[in-house]
Chain A
Amino acid sequence: MALELLAPCPPFDLPGTDDRNHSLAGVKGKLFVLLVSCNHCPYVIAYEPRMVALANEYAARDVAFMAVNANDATRYPDDGLQPMKARARERGFPFPYVRDDSQALVRTLGARFTPEAYVFDEARKLRYHGRIDDNHRDAARVTSHDLKNALDALLDGKDPPVLETTAFGCSIKWK
């Protein structure tokens, strides 16, 4: 079951590619964007530059980003912590990239795909869930910037114009 709108962000404390643990309590920011991601999915790879650009753009507006990878690293070794470290370094992730090896966080979120975005407000209640935008193939042909629209609305004290969209991408590799 997917986390319902206005439900609180599940607590977590997960190891990151920066060799530190990252917890919900440690997240600072007016808004918190949690991106369910991974290393090997072509959809994620296509979106990574946009994920980085969004995180950089909204950092100045007090929005915290984090990416979490829960894929079964036994079947998909590219999704283990060491390859994640390499990816974070190569792409210059400006946000923590954490490993949910037990898959508990991602299961509680009810995520099914990578990438899948969750936006929590200052009280860490879910305000937007779904895709980043409507065109993973070509950023220039995006017609609906769903995540960006949600962030702009929330930062203006309004509800996101669309609260939920259907995420698409690779399925999460469950254990």
Chain B
Amino acid sequence: MDVFPIIVVISFFQLVIIQKPFPHLSQTLFGVVLVVIGLFIFILGLESALFPIGEKMANEFALKGSPWWIILFGFALGFSTTIAEPALTVIASKAGGLAAGAGAIENDTNAIASFVLGLRFTVAFSVGLAIAVGVVRILKGWPLIWFIIGGYTLIVITTFFAPQEIIGIAYDSGGITTSTITVPLVTALGVGLATSIRGRNPMLDGFGLIALASLSPIIFVLGYGIFVYGVGGL
């Protein structure tokens, strides 16, 4: 279902605006079939295995866990779901190839692989940290907006020191990471926590974990860029 409007828009532009036949039509169609089948099996598996376990666990922790366990669980959940996120896998390897092609890192398979792995671990660590901080925020009932302002300020400061080559990837990484696997599990944790703690409003306190999880990767990937490429001036 997700793919249907994409096919309509692309076919319209290819046939009506560009007015040329599709190149590599059979390979592309085969790829579309793989995407649809793969996504279907993947989501079927998520809904029958990972989501029920994860949601039940999030609820149980929210109801009777000690704060330290919940914070640790939040970090582990954010880290592990981000490592598995398919969009991040694909984009990180693309970024590695481009960085090698532009001569920013060494152009051999090992250097690219370690750059890509480093990028994914940086993003996963920062999402884990963001969820842990977000859980503390829900437990304490602090307003979200102070974290957002603080995060934005940190992003602006870090951008000043970051090399040009990383800025685009860093700013994109926030949106990429919060996707198919992370969002449902993390939202379940947030809404579960906000519902089970007295005096918390699920609408005001339950949402907002995703917002933090989209913010902190930007700061950490900028930091990763400074670490890999060195400090860049603007």
A and B pair up: no
A residues contacting B by CB (< 8 A) are: none
